[in-house]
């Protein structure tokens, strides 16, 4: 897992370096709307919960069913389902039904990137 985090961090640094000028120019010429800022605040609020961060960390390794997540985190399936529902509303995770199970994955690579940047940041301190 440490190797994957390091690779993600390197990818982030490269992508960040390549897009820094573009991002800076966009923010000056076209700052985020109040609605976009509200959505970002809600996204970060959902990501600020330790249980949800644990779920993200688990899902970085691939898809999992609610029962597997609950067992790993020593939580009830109901509690995990509640967290996943919040995460799904904010587009942090995606769900698909397989038989009687619902399988969850991270919504996209951006979730990994945000998590990895935050993790790298706290490791620097």
**Confidence category of residue 10, pLDDT binned at 50, 70, 90:** low
Residues 6+ apart with CB under 8 A from 62: 105
Residue range 2-124 forms a domain whose CATH class is mainly alpha
Q: What pTM value is reported for the model?
A: 0.75
Q: Give 5-42 as a DSSP string.
A: HHHHHHHHHHHHHHHHHHHHHHHHHSPPPHHHHHHHHH
> Phi/psi at 74 (nearest 5 deg)?
55, 50
Residue-level pLDDT at 32: 87
Kindly tell me the burial class for residue 69, based on how many C-beta atoms sit within 10 Å of its own C-beta (0-12, 13-18, 19 or more).
buried
Residue-level pLDDT at 30: 82
Task: Note the pLDDT tens digit of each residue in 20-73.
Answer: 445 555 667 788 899 999 999 999 999 999 999 999 999 999 999 999 999 999
17 pLDDT higher than 60:
no
94 pLDDT higher than 70:
yes
Q: Are 51 and 75 in contact (CB under 8 A)?
A: yes
Q: Please state the domain extents for the chain.
A: 2-124
């Amino acid at each position: 897992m440490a190797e994957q985090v390091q690779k993600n961090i390197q990818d982030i640094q490269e992508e960040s370096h390549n897009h820094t000028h573009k991002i800076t120019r966009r923010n000056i010429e076209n700052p985020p709307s109040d609605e976009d800022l509200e959505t970002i605040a809600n996204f970060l609020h959902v990501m600020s919960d330790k249980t949800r961060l644990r779920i993200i960390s688990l899902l970085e390794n691939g898809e999992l069913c609610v029962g597997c997540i609950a067992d790993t985190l020593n939580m009830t399936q109901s509690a995990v389902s509640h967290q996943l529902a919040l995460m799904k509303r904010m587009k942090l995770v995606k769900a698909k039904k397989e038989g009687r199970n619902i399988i969850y994955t991270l919504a996209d690579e951006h979730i990994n990137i945000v998590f990895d940047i935050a993790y790298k940041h706290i490791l620097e301190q």
